């Protein structure tokens, strides 16, 4: 499963989870300890995921729920927008 969109919320949960708005609606993406986070070809971290960040999430659908997934890899596409 692949989801691309803008992070709207980082939920304080375990495992960490982000809410992502896409052209298809809202998705909830859980992150594991070994989820790979990449930004510009270099390793990133959970702290790089914040509201306004646009990212691509690659992973598995969670429990048969099409709007929830667990990410194996996160590719940060753009940083948060400022206004």
pLDDT digits (tens, 9 = 90+) for 16-35: 999 999 999 999 999 999 99
Three-state secondary-structure class, residue 60? strand
Confidence band for 83, pLDDT divided at 50, 70 and 90? very low
Domain boundaries 2-78, CATH class: mainly beta
- pTM for this prediction: 0.89
DSSP label at residue 45: -
Domain ranges of the chain: 2-78
Q: Which two tokens stand for residue 60?
A: 């598995």
Contact 5, 23 (CB under 8 A): yes
């Amino acid at each position: 499963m692949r989801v691309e969109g803008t992070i709207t919320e980082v939920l304080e949960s375990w495992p960490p989870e982000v809410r992502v708005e896409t052209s298809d609606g809202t998705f909830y993406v859980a992150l594991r300890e070994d989820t790979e986070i990449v930004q510009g070809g270099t390793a990133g971290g959970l702290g790089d995921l914040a509201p306004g960040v646009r990212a691509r999430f690659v992973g598995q659908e969670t429990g048969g729920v099409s709007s929830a997934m667990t990410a194996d890899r996160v590719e940060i596409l753009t940083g948060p927008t400022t206004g």
